[in-house]
A = this chain, B = another copy of it.
Amino acid sequence: MFNKFKEIQKKQKAYGYVMGIVGWDSNTEAPRDSFEHRAEMMGIISSEMFKLSTSKDYQEAVYNCFDSIDELDNLQQREIKQAKKDLDKILKVPEDVFVEYRKTLTLAQRTWEEAKHKDDFEAFAPALDNIIQQNKKILEYIGYKDIPYNELLDDFEEGYTEKDYDLFFETLKKDLVPFVKEVLTNGKKIREDFITDVYPRGKQKEFVEYLMKVLNYDYNRGGLKESVHPFTWHTHSKDVRFTVRYLEDFVFSSIFAGIHELGHALYEQQVDSKLDYTNLGGGTSSGIHESQSRFYENIIGRSEEFWQVHYPKLKELFPKQLETVTLEEFVLGINRVEASFIRVEADELTYPLHILMRYEIEKDLFGNRLETKDLPRVWNEKMVEYLGIEPKNFAEGVLQDVHWSAGLFGYFPTYALGSAYAAQFYYTMKKELNFEQLILDDNIQAINEWLKEKIHQFGSSKTPKELLKEVTNEDFNPKYYVQYLKEKYSKLYL
């Protein structure tokens, strides 16, 4: 029976693979006018995939295996449990409810884009409300632990409930918000002229390629391309590609988005390739994934040690732009803190506060304590409370993110959680490795290997909670995150 399961799963993999490649193509180079035909073709392929994944054969295989799960080895058990979880979910929701929801999302995407463009929240509100109501309806079919929002949270971060996140965000609110205020009002002068100087894209690309070597990204199992929004994409451990964009008047974008995506990519490349043919390949959760990208981007990539080694290379590529900029000025520049409206442009220190407010909003939306129409008001109040600034329009306020229009609720919190995980891993790593020295020795490979051994190789065969416990010898603890941020930014700013 397990063989039958594997046989069908392999077909699912094949469909997943081709959909993945078509997705990559459509996000990076497919011609504009091919959209319609592709949509139609992919509709057919995904419906074949759906048929396969809900077929009587597949149900029988999964449920029979589950009934005699003790006969399977540990990895197989994990596979079956995961398959059953996914299958249960599909089968519980009537197909027409799913189809209706997909349709809603497709339309909402465009509505959001237009509303954002026209800075008109009212234009988006009915669509957003529709998404939320349909989501709630679907959650009633699927079921949840205690409250509906828990199911959404669990979707992105297995085992995490509102209770867990409350604990986390309360800590941030209590310990971080006052510290951020202190930094923001400190008045330290930061040299900014070089940040927005012009850096030609050809040279930026050269530097990103240099970073790929520094971080030991394996080009034979991936590739680099350009896209409007940087992203990492994989079909299996031997094909993990990423994109960056080159803004000539903001070189930090390609450097740090580059290191960020490389972090995601290194994780995927280091998953044990034996998991490629299971449903346990790929990173285990959004939070753990984000912990890796943020680890590379912030903890390594924005450290002074990293630039002690690599600043000369950057100066070599941009001699004019950086001629008079000292290493100290540069490091301060890449760690500049400021209250800003747009989450994706926020710095490391203020970033979690953008997430905090989104979490509180989602929680209240799904707890029926907040209505869609009140979103703009609540949004602005929270911006003032946590960051001391008030958006002047919807585009830089409540309409800025794509997530909600795509039906992604419960996703935002993992962004902050990822940074917090990263900090907790960091303090463990420091006990076992001479972290600063490795960076000074240009030996990122040793860090990669540590992460591979402790985290990456397992793909999603361990849950986030299991990983945290096994790697750091304790459960998730947000104090490390606060500690890390305070140490780093006290040194830089206070």
Interface, chain A (partner B; CB < 8 A) = 10-11, 13-15, 17-19, 21-22, 24-25, 29-34, 36-38, 41-42, 44-45, 48, 218-223, 225, 235-236, 238-239, 241, 276
Give the number of copies in the complex. 2
A212 to chain B, nearest CB (A): 13
Cβ-defined contact, B223 with A37, below 8 A: no
Cβ-defined contact, A21 with B10, below 8 A: no
Most buried by B among A36, A41, A238: A41
A256 to chain B, nearest CB (A): 24
Most buried by B among A13, A17, A36: A17
Cβ-defined contact, B37 with A18, below 8 A: no
Q: Which residues of B contact A235 (CB under 8 A)?
A: 34, 37
Whole-angstrom CA separation of A37 from B237 in the bound complex: 10
**Which of B33, B41, B236, B239 contacts A18 (CB under 8 A)?**
B41
Q: Which residues of B contact A31 (CB under 8 A)?
A: 219-223, 238-239, 241
A230 to chain B, nearest CB (A): 17
Q: Which residues of B contact A45 (CB under 8 A)?
A: 14-15, 18
Whole-angstrom CA separation of A37 from B239 in the bound complex: 9
4 additional A-B residue pairs with CB within 8 Å, beyond A14-B48, A31-B241, A38-B239:
A11-B44, A14-B42, A33-B238, A37-B238
Most buried by B among A21, A32, A48, A220: A21
Q: Which residues of B contact A44 (CB under 8 A)?
A: 10-11, 13-14
Whole-angstrom CA separation of A64 from B33 in the bound complex: 36
A134 to chain B, nearest CB (A): 28
Q: Which residues of B contact A10 (CB under 8 A)?
A: 44
> Closest 10 interchain pairs by CB?
A14-B44, A34-B239, A18-B18, A17-B41, A14-B41, A32-B220, A33-B238, A33-B221, A33-B220, A34-B238
Whole-angstrom CA separation of A18 from B17 in the bound complex: 10
Given contacts A11-B44, A25-B24, A44-B10, contact A17 B33 (CB under 8 A): no
Whole-angstrom CA separation of A489 from B167 in the bound complex: 84
Please name the residue on chain B nearest to A52 by beta carbon: B48
Cβ-defined contact, A34 with B236, below 8 A: yes
20 examples of A-B residue contacts, CB within 8 angstroms: A10-B44, A14-B41, A14-B44, A14-B48, A15-B45, A17-B22, A18-B41, A21-B22, A29-B225, A31-B219, A31-B221, A31-B239, A31-B241, A33-B218, A33-B220, A33-B238, A34-B239, A36-B238, A37-B235, A37-B236
